[in-house]
Amino acid sequence: MTSQVPCYTIINSPDLEVTNEMQLKRDLEKGDTNVKIETLKRVIKLLLNGERYPGLIMTIIRFVLPVQNHTIKKLLLIFWEIVPKTSADGKLLQEMILVCDAYRKDLQHPNEFLRGSTLRFLCKLKEPELLEPLMPAIRACLDHRHSYVRRNAVLAIFTIYKNFDWLVPDGPELIASFLDTQQDMSCKRNAFLMLLHADQERALNYLASCIDQVHTFGDILQLVIVELIYKVCHANPAERSRFIRCIYNLLNSSSNAVRYESAGTLITLSLAPTAIKAAASCYIELVVKESDNNVKLIVLDRLVAMKEHEGMEKVMQDLVMDVLRVLAAPDIEVRRKTLALALDLVYSRNIGEMVLVLKKEVSKTHNVEHEDTGKYRQLLVRTLHTCSIKFPDVAANVIPVLVEFLSDTNELAAADVLIFIREAIQKFPALRALIIEHLIEAFPQIKSSKIHRAAVWILGEYVEGSQILEVIAVIQQTLGEVPMVEAEQRRLAGDQTEEQKQQQGSAGGNAAGSAAEGSGSGNASNKVTSDGTYATQSAYSLAPVAKAEKRPPLRQYLMDGDFFIGAALSATLTKLALRYAELETEARAQNRLTTQVMLIMSSILHLGKSGFPSKPITNDDTDRIFVCLRTLSERTPEAISVFTLYCREALGKMLDAQHDEDQRMLKEKQKATAKVQPDDPVLFAQLSNGRDNQLGENVFESSLNQALAGSKNAQLSDVASPNSKLNKVTQLTGFSDPVYAEAYVNVNQYDIVLDVLIVNQTNDTLQNCTLELATLGDLKLVERPHPVVLAPHDFCNIKANVKVSSTENGIIFGNIVYETALNTNVVVLNTIHIDIMDYIIPASCTDTEFRQMWQDFEWENKVTVNTSFTDLHEYLKHLLKSTNMKCLTPEKALSGQCGFMAANMYAKSIFGENALANLSIEKPVDDPDSKVTGHIRIRAKSQGMALSLGDKISSSQKQSVQAA
């Protein structure tokens, strides 16, 4: 027994005050038309909220049904749809015969709107006793002059035939003859839809007779034809050759919806290269021409799904240039997906063309101010980076384009360029001279301290031979006059510094001509006063205007208190001096360069302590610079090897670790799409459940599986298995309570369905047994469950739907109210806690993105580690399992036992929220039985997400402690 009733119309109604039935009757009897309309609306909302007014039916039949107002007629259709039409014993109410007669008259009404809307209402009736007297009138509507009435008459016959075929036994023949005579597309579509589901043979015969005219049909009919061809060809593969040409023709339809469906159907029916190419080209055209970004993303997902299929990927590789046309779209998400798809498809033959297109896109982003321009540049940089690493031949063409980004104001794009340059210069020794040359050219134009710091490191590590002196000259140019403290003192006193003299010298030639022209007028110049008279103004009478002094970039960073760049610069200069000493045999030249370098370092130290900069130099930076000075003065072999060898080795190891991680991820993906091995079992289509192959199998089945399984990659068998249900059953009342209740909580993405089992454990009949629920958190109850009557020791299932709007711990609580012959009783229910783990899925991001999000997110929750685990790695595994997060720190960085572990974790919710976590734990190495201690810091954009994850970690820790 269940409390489910058929319902087609959902009306959102806020909490209403329950109105007196007598008041409603009075308004329906004596009110004017507007009062009747408002009262009828209130009655409909009350009925949907679970109230019962059996006495109103006769009042509405007598005083409202005869009214000819169209709004009232419309509302009455909804009222008769939702009102209970049967008595307690399941028999049809006598009053419904009068209603049936009224609707028979409406089916013969001269107004076509009334006829059509009444026919639509009849599609929703489930009582054959009401439909039987109306059948002659419904049939007569098939010959009505207006297409609105005819198409709704077809739908009414279709639903009646589907539910009660004995009421219209000749339905398919009737509709087949109707289809032959029709010209209106909507009528033909509805008629063909009925034949598709009721009598496929007739539908096929009709399609075969007009297969050459299909391209002239309307899009609504073409969509139904595509569905028919799909179903027929899956059921009977021998029919493919008969209808596949029709699908090819529909790829050129004027309707985008038809083209999309046709392309999807074509690749499920045929894996021939021509079919794959035609379908992929059709998808690409749709993405390019469609303006809606959501449509673009959906179609791109279809192209990505095609690419995952090994047989299709090879054919799609030739379409890379067509895919890149989608970059014309302004949306950043569309561009991101397009570049990722193109990167996966590109191969050695068309990489050159792709790089040319990306270069053009890079040039288009210059001088364009848009909120997403910076992100798009970053995407292009990363794509060109990956292209160069995958195909080293194009690296030489890409490097000059990317180096231009170093002077960009967008620091993220410039940082990505340097990451690329660092990897390229390490992996491609042949390109080092070219990269260094371009980097030296771009060095003075860099605008960010962070970028300058990384560029300085690369120059110091990889510059060789004659370029060493060139790099030191560029560094001196961007640092300014040395010693810096004396230069700043002169600047403060108003004297000319070396830079100003040089600037004046370069500008002298330009100034000579203008000075000659101005010599005739002397120092005085004429000015016009406010009253229009002339006044003479002398240069000696003007007050001096203090100009903001523009310093060289590196000097400016130091004056702003950023001495980290000074420490990095010292390390670079030390490396250059040591390398120059190996190349240069003459001691004087060696000493000259070393002295020059040591002067710059000591000058940075002096400036840091002088008080000129906005912040003084830190102790760490001071120590690093002193280490560099000491290395240059003492030249111990250990220190020299650290500077000249170990830095580069460390970079090589890091890049190798990244490469190994990428290869491991690639292997994991390949494992997911495993090949069919010789000893694998043979799959029979008739015995399979439709979830083995997304593209080649039944798409309707796979979409149903996905809808059932929710956001996770669960399988239909897992969802339907009783074991998974038992894991999610919550007991709501005690076994000794008069009413026992338990709930199965089923989470389907944004919806939670509570399937509540209620058992009457008494010997009395429980009247109006109602499940009353309330929610806490971002949960909303969609509708109130209907009251039920429970016989002694009877049971029923009541379903309640709850909407979820964010990732936050929610609580559902409530009670069961029931009436016996003597009194009304209430049983309070146990609370149901909604687990946020159903909405969180592991995700990955780069270190830069993680740091940026960590900086941007304002909500932090710090959880203290309290666990019985004695192994750091075991605790990390337990944490990842209980929070559904992914560890971003590579395994190599976590390997080994040092008594301390730090790891970054990341996850995303299905609502698009990001969750970051930083784990910092430790235990004494010499005590194997000691427990893990430390902290977990969680950051999220919303407070609810941060608190909910913290609660989840705390509860999982308690469970592990109790288990121990």
- Rounded to the nearest angstrom, the gap between the alpha carbon of residue 324 and the centroid of all alpha carbons in its chain is 21
**How many other β-carbons are positioned within 10 Å of the β-carbon of residue 206?**
19
Residue 204 in this model has a pLDDT that exceeds 50: yes
Contacts of 173 (CB under 8 A, 6+ apart): none
Is residue 28 scored above 90 in pLDDT? Answer: no
> Cα–Cα distances in Å, from 916 out to 232, 894, 903, 919, 945?
50, 18, 11, 10, 10
8 Å CB contact between 400 and 388: no
Q: The tokens of 192 are what? A: 């063909």
Per residue in 440-470, pLDDT (tens digit) is 888 888 888 888 998 999 988 888 888 888 8
- 821 phi and psi, to 5 degrees? -65, -25
Q: What is the pLDDT averaged over residues 349-361? A: 89
Q: In angstroms, rounded to a whole number, what is the distance separating the alpha carbons of residues 368 and 381?
A: 17
Domain map (residue ranges) of the chain: 351-446, 478-490+551-635, 729-834, 838-963
Strands 933-940 and 914-922: antiparallel
Residue-wise DSSP of 649-712? HHHHHHHHHHHHHHHHHHHHHHHHTPPPPTTSPPPPTTTS-S-S-TTTS-HHHHHHHHHHHTTS
φ/ψ (deg, to 5) at 905: -130, 150
Q: 696 near 676, Cβ under 8 Å?
A: no
Structure tokens at 406: 């170093």
Band of residue 5 on the pLDDT scale cut at 50, 70, 90: low
Structure tokens that stand for 260 in this block: 């999309």
In this structure, what DSSP letter does residue 20 have?
P
CATH number listed for the domain at residues 729-834:
2.60.40.1480
The yes-or-no verdict on residue 336 having pLDDT over 80 is yes
Which among 817, 770, 771, 820 is positioned nearest to 791, based on CA atoms? 820
- How many C-beta atoms lie closer than 10 Å to residue 170's C-beta? 11
Q: How far apart are CA 271 and CA 159, in angstroms?
A: 37
The contacts found for 659-668 with CB under 8 angstroms, 24 or more apart, are 660/892, 661/890, 661/891
**Average pLDDT estimate for 569-597:** 89
Q: Which phi and psi angles does 756 have, rounded to 5°?
A: -100, 125
Q: What integer pLDDT is reported at residue 465 of this predicted model?
A: 81
Q: Same topology for domains 729-834 and 838-963, yes or no?
A: no
For residue 907, what pLDDT is reported? Answer: 92
Provide, rounded to the nearest whole percent, the portion of the chain with pLDDT above 70.
85
- β-strand pairing of 779-781 with 795-804: antiparallel
Tell me what the pLDDT averaged over the chain comes to: 81
Per-residue DSSP letters for 436-494? HHHHHHHGGG---HHHHHHHHHHHHHH--TTHHHHHHHHHHHHH-SSSHHHHHHHHHHT
**Mean pLDDT computed over 308-331:** 88
Instruction: Report which residue type is found at 611.
Output: G
Task: Match 């109790």 to its residue by tokens.
Answer: 962
- What is the C-alpha separation between 744 and 584, in angstroms, rounded? 80
Of the candidates 562, 552, 559, the residue with the CA atom closest to the CA atom of residue 449: 562
Assess contact for 53 and 43: CB atoms under 8 A. yes
Confidence tier at 502 by pLDDT (50, 70, 90): low
pLDDT at 726: 67
Q: Percentage of residues in the chain with pLDDT exceeding 90?
A: 16
Among 426-440, 774-788, 844-858, 938-952, which stretch is predicted with the lowest mean pLDDT?
Answer: 774-788
Query: End-to-end alpha-carbon separation of the chain, Å?
Result: 44
Predicted confidence at residue 905, as pLDDT, reads: 93
Q: Which of 397-401, 607-611, 689-693 has the lowest mean pLDDT?
A: 689-693
Which is higher by pLDDT, 933 or 547? 933
Contacts by residues 490-498 (CB-CB < 8 Å, ≥ 24 positions apart): 491/549
Q: How far apart are CA 449 and CA 442, in angstroms?
A: 14
Q: What is the pLDDT of residues 888-938, one digit of tens each?
A: 888 777 877 788 899 999 998 877 788 999 999 998 878 878 888 999 999
Domain boundaries 838-963, corresponding CATH code: 3.30.310.10
Axis-axis angle for helices 467-479, 564-583 (nearest 10): 150
Answer with the residue of higher pLDDT: 701 or 588: 588
Instruction: Summarize pLDDT for 663-717 with one digit per residue, the tens.
Output: 777 777 665 545 566 776 776 655 654 444 444 444 555 554 544 444 444 444 4
Secondary structure E strands in 723-844: 729-731, 739-748, 751-760, 766-776, 779-781, 788-790, 795-804, 810-819, 824-828, 832-834, 840-842
Give the total residue count for the chain.
964
Is residue 327's pLDDT more than 80?
A: yes
Find the angle CA(824)-CA(829)-CA(832) to the nearest 5 degrees.
155
> What tokens does 946 get?
């941060």
- H helices of 251-331, in order, are 256-269, 273-289, 293-308, 310-316, 320-323
Query: d(Cα 670, Cα 939) in Å, to the nearest integer?
Result: 33
pLDDT surpasses 70 at 209: yes
CB of 943 closer than 8 Å to CB of 849: no
> Residues 240-292: pLDDT tens digits?
777 888 888 888 888 889 999 999 888 888 888 898 999 999 999 999 998 88
SS3 state of residue 94: coil
Cis peptide before 483 (omega within 30 of 0): yes
- Coil, strand or helix at 914: strand
Q: What share of the chain is helix, strand, coil (3-state, %, to 5)?
A: 60, 10, 30
User: Is the CB of residue 402 less than 8 Å from the CB of residue 381?
Assistant: yes
pLDDT of 718 higher than 60: no
Q: Lowest mean pLDDT of 16-25, 92-101, 580-589, 876-885, name the range.
A: 16-25
Identify the pLDDT of residue 228: 82
Count of helix runs (H) and strand runs (E) in the chain: 42, 18
193-207, 707-721, 791-805: segment of lowest average pLDDT: 707-721
Whether 2 has a pLDDT exceeding 80, the answer reads: no
User: 3-class DSSP state for residue 950?
Assistant: helix
* Per-residue pLDDT, 601: 92
Mean pLDDT of the 63-86 span? 85
**Chain centre to alpha carbon of residue 396:** 35
The DSSP element (H or E) to which 909 belongs, if any, is strand 900-909
DSSP state of 625: H
pLDDT above 60 for 340: yes
Are 407 and 446 within 8 A, CB to CB?
Answer: yes
Q: What secondary structure does DSSP assign to 382-427, as a single string?
A: HHHHHHHHH-GGGHHHHHHHHHGGGG-S-HHHHHHHHHHHHHHHHH
SS3 state at 890? coil
Q: Closest Cα to residue 119, out of 190, 216, 48? A: 190
Extract the tokens encoding 469.
Answer: 């002196």
Task: Give the pLDDT score at 516.
Answer: 41
Report residue 891 CA to chain centroid gap: 27
Q: Are 938 and 840 in contact (CB under 8 A)?
A: no
